[in-house]
Amino acid sequence: MRTDRCGDLRVGDVGRTVTLCGWVDRRREHGEHLAFVDLRDRSGVVQLVVDGAHDLRSEFVLRVTGTVRERPADTANDALATGAVEVDAQAVEVLAAAEPPPFPLDERTEVDEVLRLRHRYVDLRRPRLQRNLEVRARVNSAVRGAMEEQGFIEVETPMLVASTPEGARDFVVPSRKEPGSFYALPQSPQIFKQLCMVGGVDRYYQIARCLRDEDLRADRQFEFMQLDAEASFVSQDDVLAFISHAVAAAAEAVTGVRPGEIGRMSWEEAMERYGSDKPDVRFGMELVELTDVFAGTEFRAFQAPCTKGIRVPGGADTSRNRLDDLTERCKRWGAKGLVWMRVTPDGLDSPVAKFLTDDEQAGLRTAMEAEVGDLLLLVADERRTARHILGLLRLELGRPPVTEGGLHFLWVVDFPLFEALDEAGNPIPAHHPFTMPHEDDVHLLDGGDLLAVRSQAYDLVLNGWELGSGSVRIHRREVQERIFSLLGIGPEEAQAKFGFLLDAFRYGAPPHAGFAFGMDRLTAILAGEENIREVIAYPKTQSGADPLTDAPTPIDDRHLEELGLRVLPPAE
RNA sequence: GGUCCUGUGGUGCAGUUUGGAGUGCACGCCGGCCUGUCAAGCCGGAGGUCGCGGGUUCAAAUCCCGUCAGGACCGCCA
């Protein structure tokens, strides 16, 4: 149908007769016999010169044959890749008329997102999404290439799987042949990839669709894509190297620059310095340890297991209103309160300054390297609470936009094996129950401090986003049984939940380790987007609806009956 | 489950604090003029359930209550 793409035409094409197809991007009429029409396809736009264009309206689909010619002197458009040439249209065929679009297709109008989603097919024509889909395709391609270079082979795993009680809420699919039974859609191919290892596929990867029925966020959709990988006979360092190579290839494919080696930080250090297991290290404002400064304080609020603070450089002009708002926010996050102090030439301006001795005030200023004009924010609480609140506060006050500060990948290693104890005193796994404990901490499993046990689990973080996580897996039956027993999972329960994996391990399981990271998140950051919806062709809203198709929708009674289902009336 | 923000012609906004006639801006749309524009320009025109429901008031886009939709976040996401 066409000989060229609009955006490809250059001075070298002058004199050629070309046929182009595309949409009317814009039209400029100059009387009955001269008009300019910008014709757009995925490659870009080119200016057509048309004898009368009154019937060529916005977004009409055209097929145009004409001669490429150099633009007259002084009429070239440097802002356009094709700006030195134009196409003198001899034949214009309207392939499809179009109603005026529901919103402007230009780049400068920020359109309501529901409207964009309802007319996503129009939105996709806009430069932003055209660009983002291309970034996404490049990231996918680069990651695949990088994994295959390293000897990984792609294996697909099923979408209809058995529900497991662990982890996120499952999406379920009713079985017609076995009414009352359900498949689950996979939260990840975790167990299947481990079975691949037992099956001798010693380097597996897949760009896998994963589904979790949890509340949506800027960085979370019900369904998302993960680069899922697993390898046999490898160490943690090997896995980090494989994945580092893959994300570096993706970054290079988009930015043209290959990132340097990715640094590592222990989970404990990340929590102490940033109050987060996914620290955004693009900016400072690190958490400062102040417990010792107030060790003997008379001030009751600071007589806590842990006192930490952050320094907001130049923040002393923060209004009382804003400080009250931050205090409220901290309380909602679970803090008992927030202590603020403005550093002024006359000392610390704070409601609590009078409760602190001169030594304490001096010690505080030294520890925090406070300068006149700064704002100091302190939280005293249990250590995990103080870290958490200040970590959130730090992001609230200092986090730069996604497009600023460059790309800061970071490996967070040595995660704890257990994140807490439940009411029954059983530990709760921080990652998943197949995670191998750190070799140096295995002895703690027998009567030691369980919460101090580190694991061979690791996360990859990019600019404060958790890209993904992985671990060295337990491949020895006795270790797995020990973990299950600590978790309060008896042999029968273990067999019921993970029997097929445990069975598989009887038949010769190689030591193995793996990782998975979110392709949507990686793509969003590389595309300079704050929200993964901008790099997904057909995303859902925060409530999980699709304004384009109106999903989810009710199904008819006959369909329900066939599946053996009955819908309850809505709860009051 | 919770907190906060937003909702005004097709689109993006202002107007809401301090109630007084659907008032304004830009884009788009329709018609006309216009032979070198490129966010073309000029003239004219059409287009409104101020998200929805209730309340207060002589009077509500504006104040109050509820509700719906969207967004950000906390919880949740092994």
Q: CA A127 → C1' B70, Å?
A: 23
Q: Which nucleotide is nearest to A215 (CA to C1')?
A: B76
Tell which residue, A369, A350, A360, has the closest CA to residue A284.
A369
Note the helical H segments in A375-490. Answer: 383-398, 477-486
pLDDT for the residue numbered A571: 62
Structure tokens at A456: 């061979």
User: pLDDT band for position A210 (50/70/90)?
Assistant: very high
Q: CA A112 → C1' B58, Å?
A: 39
pLDDT for the residue numbered A421: 82
Average pLDDT over residues A554-570: 90
Query: Rounded to an integer, what distance in angstroms lies between the CA atom of residue A384 and that of residue A267?
Result: 13
pLDDT for the residue numbered A496: 82
pLDDT for the residue numbered A175: 96
User: pLDDT band for position A432 (50/70/90)?
Assistant: confident
User: pLDDT band for position A36 (50/70/90)?
Assistant: very high
Average pLDDT over residues A326-351: 93
Taking C1' of B74 and every protein CA, the nearest residue is A333
CA A487 to chain centre: 30
Q: Which nucleotide is nearest to A83 (CA to C1')?
A: B38
Q: Which nucleotide is nearest to A104 (CA to C1')?
A: B11
Q: Which nucleotide is nearest to A113 (CA to C1')?
A: B70
Sequence-separated (6 or more) residues with CB below 8 Å from residue A381: A304, A305, A306, A335, A336, A389
pLDDT for the residue numbered A422: 78
pLDDT for the residue numbered A495: 84
Query: Rounded to an integer, what distance in angstroms lies between the CA atom of residue A431 and that of residue A167?
Result: 9
Q: Which of A22-36, A177-191, A411-425 has the lowest mean pLDDT?
A: A411-425
How much of chain A is in helix, strand and coil states, percent to nearest 5? Answer: 30, 25, 45
Q: CA A99 → C1' B40, Å?
A: 23
pLDDT for the residue numbered A297: 94
Q: pLDDT by residue (tens digit) across A114-165?
A: 999 999 999 999 999 999 999 999 999 999 999 999 999 999 999 999 987 7
Q: pLDDT by residue (tens digit) across A489-532?
A: 888 888 888 888 888 999 999 999 999 999 999 999 999 999 99
Tell which residue, A147, A400, A401, A381, has the closest CA to residue A275.
A381
pLDDT(A189) > 70: yes
Q: CA A216 → C1' B53, Å?
A: 29
Model confidence, pTM: 0.95
Of residues A35 and A425, the one with the higher pLDDT is A35
**Percentage of the residues of chain A whose pLDDT score is greater than 90:** 85
Q: pLDDT by residue (tens digit) across A240-275?
A: 999 999 999 999 999 999 999 999 999 999 999 999
pLDDT for the residue numbered A499: 83
pLDDT for the residue numbered A501: 87
Q: Which of A379-388, A473-482, A502-511, A516-525 has the lowest mean pLDDT?
A: A473-482
ipTM of the complex: 0.94
Instruction: List bases, strand B, within 7 Å of protein CB.
Output: 1-3, 10-13, 27-30, 32-41, 69-78
